[in-house]
Chains A and B, each alone.
Chain A
């Protein structure tokens, strides 16, 4: 595609070389209403070319041989959605256009902190007619997918190999052992590890079951029942850690549309997580609200919170904020991935806000069952 762009632009450039009024280093801040590109006349003479370039997803900036910007398509302006990030991109474009005018092919990947975080690739190539073209591409998504893929392979081998490796070592130690006490202890540990790997595999299977979907169950499920069952799942863990789970009673008439088992599993995972990452003796709040179309389950804890850098990635399979602690908390690393899939399956979503040291709030949004109003009316009547 890039070669096509270069070809089109070279054509355009041939027609436009007469117009060289805008200087390369003129202020091209996106904050100004319209950057000083004075090539309107030449582009207007070929509206199709302009429209074609504007419809690309990459930003295109063309400079003439004398170092003036003669064309800039729409996507090249405000690509990052943040004014100061755009200025940084502009700066890189200028630098590389100058390099390209000296005959070099340049490419740079800008990792912009934002927020929002963006990864932008800027490349510049000299054109055969003289002049140069710069292309700006937002590769945030792509670089994120790459990171997810690499981490997933590393993480899954960690989660599965560690317990299996432990079992192998324990079994080896066991085979040469005569002392009954030691045999007892080692076999106990083997059982623990086996349970652990079993749970991981169970969760993986559950996750792929939810992922595959199949026939989506759409029952009207009582919200208060989902909350009660989810809280029940975390009961033993919360009692052990002396954490008070406060669930706010939802009205019996509040119902959601979906699969009861999946919803309980999703909310249960959120509550369990909240309990796991809370300080001993603190509290976890579970509540539900509806606006008629959506029901929002909210799970709030006052625990350690999630570092900003990890917050976008915690819903990935096996992603761990603190790998050193993962065995201590005893999760499989799949809980939040399950929650996200359940939410997607129901046409809803799950979101999180968190500040380190202050706690986290997870919100699971699923569609409300229709006829909410009718139910309440029939009951009133």
Chain B
């Protein structure tokens, strides 16, 4: 019935690494199986955003010939040549002596790249391996039968704003497959479904084969973590990256290959975060801010924080003469080891950010995404050629994650992020020893950190143009489709707005929410698909579902 053998949902680094590894293995084994990747973005890379400073070794593992590929992708990968950490006060900047920089924040040997470009490259390589990659198809949810994932259902197309079919109505199609790999990224809709499926497993069965992924994979690696069931997992916490790419017609003052990280300004007590400025090339610079979504301030606007960062004299000097040509924002799971989601559930595998594979100490997830994808690809290839078939893929996947040290890397970084709940100084101190602490520091969900009385009162710096940000993301949605962002109980929003809070009007980098004085108006067509609203609404009153495929932002070099 299912003519698709393997369906990968989400064409990011993790999903495409899965497909590429699988394609390579099938080619090597001389096996014929259909591997299909679908993604909601209009084109490869459009919904992918990262810093990004990446260890290039992971690309060598996946595609040993990537440096000489005919598409000349490698031309856009810049080796890190200078690597600095600076501490900013409101007006000044002090360089942290290199010896004092924690090892997790050193980048010798790494490379600066655009993850949008990386994804476009990976999509092309997957295609050349016989993988079918389809863009512009959004999965609305999983097809689950008898607790097994059988495929996905796509989003209904051609409804009007009221949900009535138009003349071109196309009901959401079913896409069935032998095995499904969920790679829908940070706060993905399908990974949330799998998380719920996994948590709903009766306790009795947890003990045998369906233990928490982290727990059981941990045991496979010889760690003493047995007994941690799905229910014991921490709730995931997130960061929000706000980023721009600047172009310098005459060359940038920063120069290619220079990496600058900052701590301090503009973040205040109660905000975890830091800035980054990367010389992508002689004329191109990536600049951005990563903020922990557990900030206290009800009126914190990440775009204003980003503009404040850019206006700092130290940063402004490095960006002199630059013009923003692209902007974007995306959440990143920061919970690390203890918050790692299920790695397989209902027969489906989760890879990359969808599972929470981010090294919380380094705040890097591209390499773990690719490595987890390669494990999934190998596991499925092994399962396809075994007698047990794809049903054995989950166990094999967990085993490979442990064997290849991916879980160890996350485990070493555990408790890192957690310490920063108490501020920078204790956080920095804890971060150095957190990995060795015998305790499990827990994080509350991000939304509960917001304090309604805590106001930041930051103004957009003079000369900054806040309105250009959304425009430069290139985001677009059909104006008369049903809103893919819904307020569950609008009355609660009225109460929240009347009280003067309306945190959504501040935290959303896409300006989707607006308080009119009497109600919250949702402009879903501005949405950047960053998922902040699903994490940060204090009342958990916002529901996000995928809109029609091909919509949303258009990131090409973020």
A, B bound: no
User: Which B residues contact A (CB, under 8 angstroms)?
Assistant: none
User: Which A residues contact B (CB, under 8 angstroms)?
Assistant: none
